[in-house]
């Protein structure tokens, strides 16, 4: 199975016996065995895990230093035929000095020794009494340790021999707490995973601060960050070590340990290296600029990853544009609505427009656009009658959507005009020689263009501005009539995907415009449709968008991971099966994924000439902003991979 950039990173918190290297070694080997069974690629142990962190002046005892070296040698021998990389903490004596170090071991070989740089002087554990700073080593140097030769130094990074984009760097405990941690330099030189071996004691409130440090550093470095701190068994003469461990990815904690256990424990998570590298490449121009200014010399040491061996054990939200927690979702909806309102207010002020012209159909998108207009007028102190809501019944209009549109505009006290397009479109069919019984694309698009012409002309008549209703998902799919609903004078919904439109309208109904809540809830319950084909015999909507282009929850999922992170089709297909397990089988996911790529690539010409509209999230398809793509790009590479997936 292909890796697709996923690496399983583990943090082990062993129960230790202070200064008992044999016991600690055996405990660590048992944890390594457990990690192997979980297919962990890289396993991190705490600071000075071979000896225990709280040995005090026993670090000056040559016997302890010698036994810790023997223990590392035995762990290396144990790992000779294992597909796992282990990073452990050990005191290392070099040139008459002792350094607090991390040893990186893979396939029986000690790949490198990385010393701690920032040594605390005034705390409960007077570490500078025993250890020298890695700053003493001006450059990486070869040393002999545990019967092997390897590099020791501050500027060593470790990369996967099978994927040289996967690089990890190391810092130790206090290194994270300084203004510019070593991990910042490591990240600028390519490390997308940082491992921190720590021994941070527990005080009231300290854990929350630690977690924020880890999250913020992983976000600043656009990296994954694994942190493992000492636990049960360390001396409690003056302080307690609770065994805090966590794995964060770009500001989000993926997993964390339970503190204050009286036994060893193991946590692990699958980090997505490909996503991080793409984010650095595409979104973080400041990251690239900082990298250009960094001229430090690093040595890169390869390790064997033992790739392509595990299923992904990670969740991917089905609705990546929508926060999963209600509290977060409400905050997000409020922020998005404020962005829309502020954007429209600026456009009104700049153009001195006398009317906001909105085509209102009784569907979700036009409802959201109307609500944004209403809230903007309220906030600017403008009478709502400035809003010209135009309902334009056609051949596919149903009573449900028509009645909702009429009632909504009346209750909101906006201006309402009803203009049927049937006669005009029939005349147009006659003019171009189209048979009205032929319900093809000409039949549908003629109606959409007629509606847009009416809106534009009313805007001219009333010195107004046509407010567009199309959303981000429709733009991605090209699900708009060129020079029909595709066009407006300001696309207020252009940055909001369909799955988020639904939550946003619900939030407005529940929190902002409660007097029309019942209508908004019925709009939410109405099938998504352009209503360009006649209703069925019962008068219900016959043309349902999701039956043609696919379920929007799938399409928005595809859109997010394709545009935001540049994932290839096979990876999106794989993670979609995880997220939608039990809802869509793999054949259905494949069907709509292929259709998504065909539509997305072929419909760029519609996005190349979009009207202005506000960006509200991490993805926008404006040709002046986030997405710049030729309208005549070939889709063959993507279709070839898609076709190869089912052979």
Is pLDDT at 137 greater than 90 in this prediction? no
Mean pLDDT estimate for the chain: 93
Sign of CA dihedral 123, 125, 126, 132: negative
183 contacts 175 by C-beta, under 8 angstroms:
yes
Is pLDDT at 177 greater than 90 in this prediction? yes
Is pLDDT at 179 greater than 90 in this prediction? yes
Q: What's domain 326-644's architecture?
A: 3-Layer(aba) Sandwich (3.40)
Q: What is the mean pLDDT of residues 118-135?
A: 82
Res 286: pLDDT? 65
Report the alpha-carbon distance of residue 113 to residue 119 in Å, rounded: 17
| Alpha helical stretches, state H, 352-388 | 364-380
- Integer angstrom CA distances of residue 270 from 302, 334, 401, 463: 21, 33, 46, 56
Tokens representing 477 are 């799919």
Res 308: pLDDT? 60
Sign of CA dihedral 248, 500, 372, 603: positive
| Tens of pLDDT, residues 409-427 | 999 999 999 999 999 999 9
- The residue among 607, 604, 599, 596 whose CA lies nearest residue 557 is 596
DSSP string spanning 443-494?
HHHHHHHHHHHHHHHHHHHTTEEEEE---HHHHHHT-S-TTTTT--SEETTT
Res 123: pLDDT? 54
Q: What is the mean pLDDT of residues 593-616?
A: 96
- Assign 42 to helix, strand or coil: strand
Non-local (6+) Cβ contacts of 142 within 8 A are 149, 150, 151, 152
The burial class, CB within 10 Å (0-12 / 13-18 / 19+), for 525 is exposed
Strands 85-94 and 245-249: unpaired
Report the alpha-carbon distance of residue 327 to residue 643 in Å, rounded: 42
Is pLDDT at 124 greater than 60 in this prediction? no
> Worst-scoring range by mean pLDDT, 262-266, 279-283, 601-605?
279-283
- The residue among 509, 97, 188, 152 whose CA lies nearest residue 337 is 509
Sign of CA dihedral 484, 485, 486, 489: positive
Degrees, nearest 5: CA angle 192-198-201: 140
Res 101: pLDDT? 98
561 contacts 320 by C-beta, under 8 angstroms:
yes
> Worst-scoring range by mean pLDDT, 77-91, 420-434, 541-555, 610-624?
541-555
Res 297: pLDDT? 87
Q: What is the mean pLDDT of residues 334-363?
A: 96
The label of the residue with tokens 């000095």 reads 97
Tokens representing 39 are 């297919």
Q: What is the DSSP letter of 232?
A: B
| Tens of pLDDT, residues 376-393 | 999 999 999 999 999 999
Is pLDDT at 2 greater than 60 in this prediction? yes
| Tens of pLDDT, residues 195-246 | 999 998 888 888 899 999 999 999 999 999 999 999 999 998 888 999 999 9
| Radius of gyration from C-alpha coordinates of the chain | 31
Non-local (6+) Cβ contacts of 572 within 8 A are 557, 558, 561, 562, 593
Q: What's domain 8-303's architecture?
A: 4-Layer Sandwich (3.60)
**Segments of the chain assigned to CATH 3.60.110.10:** 8-303
**Segments of the chain assigned to CATH 3.40.50.620:** 326-644
More confident position, 93 or 1: 93
Phi, then psi, of 393 in degrees rounded to 5: -60, 140
Non-local (6+) Cβ contacts of 109 within 8 A are 76, 148, 150
- The residue among 309, 303, 232 whose CA lies nearest residue 270 is 309
- The residue among 125, 104, 127 whose CA lies nearest residue 114 is 104
Res 199: pLDDT? 93
Q: Which residues are catalytic?
A: 47, 116, 173
| Tens of pLDDT, residues 286-342 | 666 665 545 678 999 999 987 565 688 888 999 999 988 888 889 999 999 999 999
Q: What is the mean pLDDT of residues 96-102?
A: 96
Tokens representing 30 are 């048992």
Please compute, for residue 66, the number of CA atoms within 13 A of its CA located in the half-sphere on the CB side: 3
Most confident range, picked from 200-209, 393-402, 587-596, 619-628: 587-596
């Amino acid at each position: 199975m292909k890796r697709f950039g996923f690496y399983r990173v583990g943090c082990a918190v062993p129960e230790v016996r202070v200064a008992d290297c044999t016991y600690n070694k055996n405990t660590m080997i048992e944890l390594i065995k457990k990690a192997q069974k979980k297919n962990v690629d890289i396993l991190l142990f705490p600071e000075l895990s071979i000896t225990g962190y709280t040995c005090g002046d026993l670090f000056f005892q040559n016997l302890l230093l010698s036994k810790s070296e023997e223990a590392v040698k035995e762990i290396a021998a144990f790992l000779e035929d294992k597909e796992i990389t282990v990073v452990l903490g050990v005191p290392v004596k070099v040139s008459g000095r002792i350094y607090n170090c991390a040893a990186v071991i893979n396939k029986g070989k000690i790949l490198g020794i990385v010393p701690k740089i920032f040594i605390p002087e005034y705390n409960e554990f007077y570490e500078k009494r025993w250890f020298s700073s890695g700053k003493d080593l001006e450059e990486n140097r070869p040393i002999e340790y545990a019967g092997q030769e390897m590099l020791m130094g501050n500027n060593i990074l470790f990369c996967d021999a099978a994927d040289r984009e996967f690089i990890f760097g190391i810092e130790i405990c206090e290194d994270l707490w300084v203004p510019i941690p070593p991990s910042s330099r490591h990240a600028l030189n390519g490390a997308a995973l940082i491992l921190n071996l720590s021994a941070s004691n527990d005080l009231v409130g300290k854990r929350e601060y630690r977690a924020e440090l880890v999250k913020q550093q992983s976000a600043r470095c656009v990296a994954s960050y694994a942190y493992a701190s000492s636990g049960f068994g360390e001396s409690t003469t003056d302080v307690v070590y609770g065994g805090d461990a966590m794995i964060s990815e770009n500001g989000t904690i993926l997993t964390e340990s339970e503190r204050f256990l009286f036994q060893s424990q193991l946590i692990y998570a699958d980090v997505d290296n490909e996503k991080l590298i793409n984010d650095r490449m595409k979104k973080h121009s400041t990251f690239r600029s900082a990298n250009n200014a960094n001229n430090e010399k690093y040595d890169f040491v390869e390790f064997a990853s033992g790739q392509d061996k595990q299923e992904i054990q990670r969740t991917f939200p089905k609705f990546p544009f929508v926060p999963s927690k209600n509290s977060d979702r409400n905050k997000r909806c409020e922020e998005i609505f404020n962005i829309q309102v502020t954007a429209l207010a600026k456009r009104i002020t700049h153009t001195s427009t006398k009317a906001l012209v909105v085509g209102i159909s009784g569907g979700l998108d036009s409802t959201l656009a109307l609500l944004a207009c209403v809230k903007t007028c309220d906030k600017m102190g403008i009478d709502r009658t400035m809003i010209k809501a135009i309902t334009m019944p056609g051949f596919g209009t149903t009573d449900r959507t028509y009645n909702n549109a009429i009632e909504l505009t009346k209750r909101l006290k906006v201006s309402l005009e009803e203009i049927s397009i049937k006669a005009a479109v029939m005349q147009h069919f006659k003019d171009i020689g189209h048979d009205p019984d032929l319900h093809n694309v000409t039949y549908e698009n003629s109606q959409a263009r007629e509606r847009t012409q009416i809106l534009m002309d009313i805007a001219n008549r009333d010195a107004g501005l046509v407010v567009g209703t199309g959303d981000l998902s429709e733009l991605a799919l090209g699900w708009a009539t060129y020079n029909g609903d595709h066009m407006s004078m300001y696309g207020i919904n252009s940055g909001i995907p369909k799955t988020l439109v639904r939550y946003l309208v619900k939030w407005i109904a529940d929190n902002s415009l409660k007097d029309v809540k019942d209508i908004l809830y019925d709009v939410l319950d109405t099938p998504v449709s352009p209503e360009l084909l006649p209703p069925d015999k019962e008068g219900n909507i016959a043309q349902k968008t999701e039956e043609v282009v696919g379920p929007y929850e799938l399409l928005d999922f595809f859109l997010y991971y394709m545009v935001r992170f540049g994932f290839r089709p096979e990876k999106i297909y794989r993670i979609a099966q995880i997220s939608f397990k039990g809802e869509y089988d793999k054949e259905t996911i494949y069907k709509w994924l292929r259709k998504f790529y065909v539509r997305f690539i072929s419909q760029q010409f519609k996005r190349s000439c979009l009207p202005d509209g506000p960006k509200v999230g991490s993805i926008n398809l404006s040709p002046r902003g986030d997405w710049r793509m030729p309208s005549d790009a070939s889709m063959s590479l993507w279709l070839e991979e898609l076709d190869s997936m089912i052979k």
